[in-house]
Amino acid sequence: MLAKRIIPCLDVKDGQVVKGVQFRNHEVVGEIIALAERYRDEGADELVFYDITASSDGRSVDRSWISRIAAVLDIPFCVAGGIRSLDEARQVLANGADKISINSPALENPDLIDRLAAEFGNQCVVAGIDSRREGDDWYVYQYTGDETRTKATRRRTLDWAQEVVTRGAGEIVLNCMNQDGMRQGYDVEQLRAVRERVSVPLIASGGAGALEHFAAAFREARVDGALAASVFHKQVLTVGEVKSYLRDQGIAVRL
């Protein structure tokens, strides 16, 4: 049976792992390789590394750490951050990343998704979507790595989710911004709405703080994976604790 995935997310800024609250006030939480190894040893199914300043600074991801990660990790990992061209994506993949995730550049130039999927296959193209509730709908945000440059797009999240899949994204990571870093639970309602629209794997992101939050995302929103950062970085929970709990709840996990 295909296992539900637990995915620690490491936000990388200036070569260190940082974490903010609702995408603001970042503090340093550790060194990249040490944290990557810790999560691997705890049983993480996959890791995501976001260079959170890359897109808002208009530069591409600093790649010196990707091959170092590839050398130590025996689980898949995804790299995100300002990948704007086929050449940049090729370099990231050649350095050992299994997937690339694109977010702001896809909003600038949606055709990039088509070209990346055609060149590398949709299995390694992940669309990251930063989404916030406004009234009774959800809208996509751009350049969320830098609070001074974050901007609302006029795109509805449900429309954009459908579009990225049509263009060839093989997976969606939905960052529910209202919940980010709050540890109050995933936005199950929003995740469920996106789940009903798209058939590709959907990864919940933003809000994990307790064991029940993971179970709710899997059970009520039928997501394929749950991404979390601060709850793991601050050692509120370990990946192993989450997976043992999920197994006891009857949810298929790799232990």
Binding site for other proteins (CB under 8 A): 1-3, 5, 40, 45, 67, 70-72, 74-76, 93-96, 98, 120-124, 170-171, 199-201, 224-225, 254
Q: Which is nearer to other proteins, 52 or 161 (CB)?
A: 161
Query: Is 130 among the catalytic positions?
Result: yes
CB of 176 to other proteins, least distance (A): 22
Q: Minimum Å distance from CB 201 to other proteins?
A: 6
* Least Cβ distance, residue 90 to other proteins (angstroms): 11
Identify whether the C-beta of residue 22 lies closer than 8 Å to the C-beta of residue 182: yes
Min dist. Cβ of residue 120 to other proteins (A): 7
For 179-212, the three-class secondary structure string (H helix, E strand, C coil) is HCCCCCCCCHHHHHHHHHHCCCCEEEECCCCCHH
The identity of residue 234, as a single letter, is K
Residue number with CB closer to other proteins (63 or 133): 63
Long-range own/partner contacts, residues 247-255 (CB < 8 A, 24 or more apart)? 249/215, 249/219, 251/4, 251/215, 251/218, 251/219, 252/1, 252/2, 252/3, 252/4, 253/3, 253/4, 253/6, 254/3, 254/43, 254/45, 255/43
Nearer to other proteins, 152 or 255 (CB): 255
Nearer to other proteins, 35 or 107 (CB): 35
C-alpha separations of 215 from 4, 145, 252 in Å: 10, 28, 11
Cα–Cα separations (whole angstroms), residue 138 to 155, 206, 224, 226: 9, 14, 21, 20
Instruction: Choose between 77 and 186: whose C-beta lies nearer to other proteins.
Output: 77
Q: At closest approach, how far in Å is the CB of 70 from other proteins?
A: 5
Whether 11 sits among the annotated catalytic residues: the reply is yes
Residue 50 · residue 62 · CB < 8 Å: no
From the list 45, 130, 180, 187, the catalytic residue is 130
Residues noted as catalytic: 11, 130
